[in-house]
Amino acid sequence: MNAERVLAAIVLVVCVALFARLLIGARRRARLDAVLRRTARSVRDAVMSIRHRREAARVADEAIARARKRDGEWDGNVYKPKSFRKPPRDKMH
């Protein structure tokens, strides 16, 4: 099957579904629309949840990698990175 036939089949299915929706009564149409909205919201929420989990895992991995860098020193339970050190004072002024 080529892409044109697949696209034509999808368009045909959508058209038949929309026509069938028009044939049912207003009460059933409202119920069907509510079910479709709930389903779409559930799918969207699931996708967003997966996306947020991946983002959280990525951020956590970056934080762990930064914490593993040993470019500082520990003073008891306090970590002082070298980037926090002040430059030496200029004694000339």
User: How does residue 51 score in pLDDT terms, banded at 50, 70 and 90?
Assistant: very high
Q: Is the dihedral of CA 69, 73, 76, 80 positive or negative?
A: negative
pTM for this prediction: 0.54
Residue 72: closest CA among 63, 86, 62, 85: 85
| Other CB atoms within 10 A of residue 48 CB | 10
Mean pLDDT across 49-75: 87
Mean pLDDT score of the chain? 88
